Every structure is written in C-alpha cells, then in structure tokens.
Amino acid sequence: MLSTSADVVPVKHQLKTLMHNDIRLEAKGKKTIVYFFAPWCQVCNFSIDNLQNVYQKNPEIDVIAVALDFVDLDAVKKFTNNHQLTFPVALGNESVKADFQVQGYPSYYVLNAENAIIGRSLGYSSEIGLYLRSL
C-alpha cells in the first residue's frame, strides 16, 4: 500500500463518463474507491473483476473507475464491456493523472465520507484486499 501522505489531495475534477454523464471524482457521503486503470494494462484486466465484486456486495461503498492513457474511446468501451462493469467509468486526462500522482496501473484511492484520502495502493488486489482497504 502506498502512503497516504498529505501531498496528495483529492482535487474535485469533473469528468465525462462512458454514458456521457458528468461525474465528480469525490466521495458523496460514503467511502469511495477511485480506481485508475488503462485498458491495455494486463494487471487491470485481472483485478477489475475483484473491484466489481466489492461494489456489488457492499452498498456502503461507492466505486468510480477512471480510464487513463487510453488510445481511443473504443478501447475503454471494450474493456468495460468485457468485464460487465456496473459502476461509473470516467474518462480521465493528464490533469487528473498529475493531481492524483498516478504512477502506475491499477492505482486505487480510498476516500472517506469527508473526501479525504485514507488509503492508496498500486498493483493487483484481491477482492478481500480491496474490501479491507476500504474499511
């Protein structure tokens, strides 16, 4: 797990989702996992189903996935369709990547209900590992 150092402060970016809705990268009164991924990332392909399971089994936890470093929109759509994701998938940009100091994929940030980062990790995580990080 990466440190939860104070130098990473969640900036409330507003992004478009794959469904063309606006979404803000923030917690809305409950713990939220913000998952940064790239569609070409093999580890992301192995770990995203664990995140989907956490989301489905735990209504007290929100999830927002943010696609970064993608070639085109079709690559993001293919990734989300292959994994049958039911949580929002936002289309990120270099500003989001820089503000959250994303250094690799997948990166997970856990925000508490007050929108403070309480946990960060990089790389593969099991379903139970994701759940425990969100406590």
- CA 34 to the chain's CA centroid: 3
- Residue 7 domain flag: no
| Residue 90 domain boundaries | 14-133
- Residue 36: both structure tokens together: 């940064």
- Residue 6 domain flag: no
Environment class of 34 (CB within 10 Å of its CB; exposed 0-12, middle 13-18, buried 19+): buried
Q: What is the CATH number of the domain that holds 37?
A: 3.40.30.10
- Residue 4 domain flag: no
Rounded to whole angstroms, the Cα distance separating 82 from 78 reads 6
- Residue 5 domain flag: no
Model pTM greater than 0.85?
yes
**Could you give the angle at the alpha carbon of 110 between the alpha carbons of 108 and 115, nearest 5°?**
135
**Which residue type occupies 60?**
E
Number of domains in the chain: 1
- Residue 3 domain flag: no
- What tens-digit pLDDT sequence spans the chain (135 residues)? 444 445 555 667 899 999 999 999 999 899 999 999 999 999 999 999 999 999 999 999 999 999 999 999 999 999 999 999 999 999 999 999 999 999 999 999 999 998 889 999 999 999 999 999 888
- Residue 1 domain flag: no
